[in-house]
Structure 1
Amino acid sequence: MQSMSLNLRSKIPLIVIAALLGMGGLITLLRSITVISTGEIGIVDFYGQVSEQPLTPGVHLKNPTARMVTFSTQTREFKETLQTPTKEGLMLNVDISVLYRIDPAKAKQLYQTVGMNYEEIVLVPQVRSLMRSATANFESKTIYTSDRQALAQQLRENLNKALSDRGIIIEDALIRNVKLPDSVEKSVQEKLKAEQDAQRMKFVLERERQEADRKRIEAQGNADAQRILSQGLSEQALRFKQIEAMQQLAASQNSKVIIVGGDQKAPVLLQP
């Protein structure tokens, strides 16, 4: 009995070692498996040696001691509010949104040259700088009204030129709001109201002109009809029409005796 107890105690360290080895192997296996979610790509960094191809969504095996970093490839929104000058030197408060995404083919380059905080290092400064450069080409009143879309398009094109080589693709740039200085905004609003009133008056005058043309044409038509009628009603024609009317009255079933004044020489008496 004593010998069995001694044998059991001698085997305990082996069991512990085997358990530790098994646990270590399990941990190593788990660290060798990585999962890339949908809308992401993975970059494997093994002590400064970056994998050539990014890992696509799915399950992958990697060196358990390597570092795994992921980039989102989905469209993201960056919002910014900044003061920016106009062509005439006025300062505007502009709210903008920039929609962008990472180019998977250039994710390695972006990681190596910029790092994970690329938005703060590259995107934000470029948006601020290029936005101020873009608004300097426009007048404040046109940014507030007609040129907002042109300003957004110019900003998007300039951002793509500056950031596409780094692996950042600008999908769209949106001007959400433009706040002018109070005095300028008031004058712009007054000008817009004046233009609207002018357009409204132009419409009213055009409508009145069309109505006057219609009445003039109608009056001319009536005058032409009267002239043609007066030219066609001669003495003989009137006399003929009178005779026709009397004959029709005489032929009526209800008529008995009809006396009609003639040419003032003698009355005409018709009997059925």
Structure 2
Amino acid sequence: MGTIVWFIFLFILISLIYWFFSQRVVPWATSHGDREQSVPLRDIFRWFSAGRLVFALLLVVFLLLPLLSVVVIKPGYRGVVFDVFRGVLPEPLGEGLHLVWPLVQQVTPYDIRTQTYTMVQRAQEGESDTLWAPTADGLKVGLDLTVRYKPDPARLPELHRNIGPDYAEKVVRPQIRNIARMVVSEYGILDVYSKRRAIIQQQIFDRLRGMFAKDGLICEEVLLRDVVFTPEFEKALENKMMAAQKVEQLEFEVQQAQKRAEARIKEAQGEAAAFETINRSIEKNPKLLEYMWIHKLANDVKLVVVPRDGAGGIIINPEPLLNAK
């Protein structure tokens, strides 16, 4: 649309230059020079008279006026109207075709769809930079942060009046960096590394939502995608985790040894209890001992010598007893 306006301006400028040369310069040169050799410029362009010039200008304006008056708002956009006499109009234009006063009203389109602003540690993942924030214990962490937001359609005139179309650089980026740093500075580096990450993400979202609302923006979601540590801290953290794993391994081995000792104690206690029961049974029935060792004999044993009451040995033929088994 601006190109058309410049075209009209150049057309009028060329017409004024022609009028100046044909009405002023050429008659002055004719009166001060050779009348026989000087030819007025208007005689060369006989077809280009003042009346035709006015008619051509009116025709161009008439043809271009509809083009300058028509504004098309694309889907997902709203148009904020600035009027030369009334300022920013309170009602933005919706999607579709609209008519405005040319050269009096200017329409600025605003994208009201969800937008994302990403701060990443790896350059190939996005166009922004990493957010490095200090922690409560004086260390630094890098945050891979994505914020989903959009302009409030009902407050677009206010946004246009106070900030303008470049609100992403003027409001979104500075507030994200400021709020994220403030929230992270309240936690230690191990808190950021542990399960408190979800709490930190929620606090950043709550504070950004309030700050964005003051400027006519809606914060929809905050995604804390990754936490990046310095190489020195990563090395120290790795060493600490390895030491913790060794301690856990030693504790596990101690527990296993204790369990094995407890098992042996219980086994010995069980054997002692069994022996005590056997002794009581033998005291009640002395023949039980003979039965037990005869019961354990192999099938092919024919002769056994055993001691008895300290009187030497006796020969017992176990075959009848074995056959009885």
Letter matched to residue 73 of structure 1: R
The answer to whether 1:201 aligns with 2:250 is yes
Report the CA distance shift for 1:149/1:260 in structure 2 as closer, same or farther (over 3 A).
closer
2:80 to 43, 49, 53: 43
2:96 to 59, 62, 83: 59
In the alignment, structure 1 segments of 5+ residues that lack a partner are 1-15, 250-257
> Bigger radius of gyration, 1 or 2?
2
Q: CA deviation at 1:25?
A: 6.6
Query: 1:155–1:173: 8 Å Cα contact kept in structure 2?
Result: no
In structure 2, the partner of 1:127 is 176
Q: Determine what percentage of the aligned residue pairs are the same residue.
A: 22
The answer to whether 1:34 aligns with 2:69 is no
Q: CA deviation at 1:243?
A: 11
Q: CA deviation at 1:222?
A: 3.5
The answer to whether 1:96 aligns with 2:134 is no
In the alignment, structure 2 segments of 5+ residues that lack a partner are 1-55, 120-128, 309-313
Q: CA deviation at 1:110?
A: 1.7
Report the CA distance shift for 1:266/1:156 in structure 2 as closer, same or farther (over 3 A).
closer
Q: Secondary structure at the match of 1:111?
A: helix
Q: Give, in whole Å, the separation in 1 of the partners of 2:139 and 2:315.
A: 99
TM-score by length of 2: 0.57
In structure 2, the partner of 1:235 is 286
Q: CA deviation at 1:205?
A: 2.9
Letter matched to residue 197 of structure 1: K
2:228 to 178, 181, 184: 178
Q: Secondary structure at the match of 1:87?
A: coil
Q: CA deviation at 1:17?
A: 10
1:32-58: CA deviation from partner (whole Å, max 9, x where unpaired): 352431x433333333544444445x4
2:211 to 162, 165, 170: 162
Report the CA distance shift for 1:27/1:241 in structure 2 as closer, same or farther (over 3 A).
closer
Report the CA distance shift for 1:53/1:207 in structure 2 as closer, same or farther (over 3 A).
farther
The answer to whether 1:221 aligns with 2:270 is yes
Q: Secondary structure at the match of 1:43?
A: strand
1:5-37: CA deviation from partner (whole Å, max 9, x where unpaired): xxxxxxxxxxx9998688447536xx5352431
Q: Give, in whole Å, the separation in 2 of the partners of 1:162 and 1:197.
A: 47
Query: 2:145–2:222: 8 Å Cα contact kept in structure 1?
Result: no
1:75-96: CA deviation from partner (whole Å, max 9, x where unpaired): 4123242443332434555443
Q: Give, in whole Å, the separation in 2 of the partners of 1:228 and 1:174.
A: 70
Report the CA distance shift for 1:75/1:237 in structure 2 as closer, same or farther (over 3 A).
same
CA RMSD of aligned residues (A): 4.4
Q: CA deviation at 1:172?
A: 0.6
Query: 1:45–1:69: 8 Å Cα contact kept in structure 2?
Result: no
In structure 1, the partner of 2:117 is 77
Query: 2:116–2:149: 8 Å Cα contact kept in structure 1?
Result: yes
Q: Secondary structure at the match of 1:70?
A: strand
Specify which structure has the bigger relative contact order, considering alpha-carbon pairs within 8 angstroms and separated by 6 or more residues: 1
Letter matched to residue 46 of structure 1: D
Q: Secondary structure at the match of 2:210?
A: helix
Q: Secondary structure at the match of 1:176?
A: strand
Q: Secondary structure at the match of 2:114?
A: coil
1:145-164: CA deviation from partner (whole Å, max 9, x where unpaired): 55444433332222222222
Query: 2:73–2:109: 8 Å Cα contact kept in structure 1?
Result: no
Deviates most, 157-166 or 199-208: 199-208
Q: Give, in whole Å, the separation in 2 of the partners of 1:181 and 1:115.
A: 41
Q: Give, in whole Å, the separation in 1 of the partners of 2:267 and 2:91.
A: 83
TM-score by length of 1: 0.66
